[in-house]
Amino acid sequence: MTYTCSCRRRHTAAGEACGERRQMLGLAALAALGALGTLAGCGERASEAQSLAPIEIDRSTSCELDGMLLADYPGPKAQVHYAAQDKPSFFCDTVELFSTLLAGEQVRAARAIYVQDMGKADWDHPQGHWIDAKTAFFVLGSKRHGSMGPTIGSFAQEADAAKFAAAHGGKVLRFGEITADMVDLSGGALHDTRM
């Protein structure tokens, strides 16, 4: 007894599947498993990306170092999403952020670091406009103050940082150019002895 399967070939037994069909079924099964794995992976990555997204501050958001309420002070704020920590740690000042990140005893791995883009945010009441700190431009040594006195302005665009530095003084630096001696908090932010 012979029959014709979907491959258009004649086979001798009804239960006999042709090699091409078996191969196609195997490939389809592998593709389905791969798609499930990809979907599961996408779900995990989407969940992780969502957990690493910047979180907006509110009236009760406080600084990790000193408990100050972020919304009560001018200047750029920061948040760090540490590994094995559900919620980010907030900083009321970018000087505190860098002081913490550059401390020799800092052992927590940072998965994401955000600062506010002061090219868009209102300096006196900054809300939103979170940017990746590692790609930002920073102005060190300006006359503008944050919660702890002189602070480091943060900007998404180099042109905005340069414009700010021209208006308020300071030097434009990248994330990796800021060193621990530039953000020493002993005796005040940026060595401000008036604090």
Decide: helix, strand or coil at residue 30.
Answer: helix
Rg (CA), the chain: 28
Determine if the pTM surpasses 0.75: no
Mark 36-64 as b/e (b = at least 16 C-beta within 10 Å). eeeeeeeeeeeeeeeeeebeebeeebebb
Summarize pLDDT for 6-59 with one digit per residue, the tens: 555 555 555 445 555 545 434 444 344 444 444 445 444 555 556 699 999 999
Q: Which two tokens stand for residue 143?
A: 């006359």
Query: What's the CA angle centered on 135, arms 137 and 188, to 5 degrees?
Result: 50
What pLDDT shows up at residue 179?
95
Please report, for the chain, the start and end positions of each structural domain, with discontinuous segments joined by +: 3-51, 55-191
Report yes or no: 122 and 75 within 8 Å, Cβ to Cβ.
no
Model confidence at 105: pLDDT above 60 = yes
Looking at residue 184, its pLDDT comes to 73
Q: What is the pLDDT of residue 118?
A: 98
pLDDT of residue 145: 95
What pLDDT does residue 2 have? 54
Enumerate the β-bridge partners of residue 113.
80
Task: Name the E strands within 6-150.
Answer: 10-11, 78-82, 89-91, 110-116, 130-132, 137-140, 145-146, 149-150
Strand 10-11 to strand 78-82: parallel, antiparallel, or no bridges (unpaired)? Answer: unpaired
Q: 128: which 2 tokens?
A: 């939103």
Closest CA to 167 of 130, 108, 103, 123: 123
- Higher pLDDT among residues 157 and 3, named by residue: 157
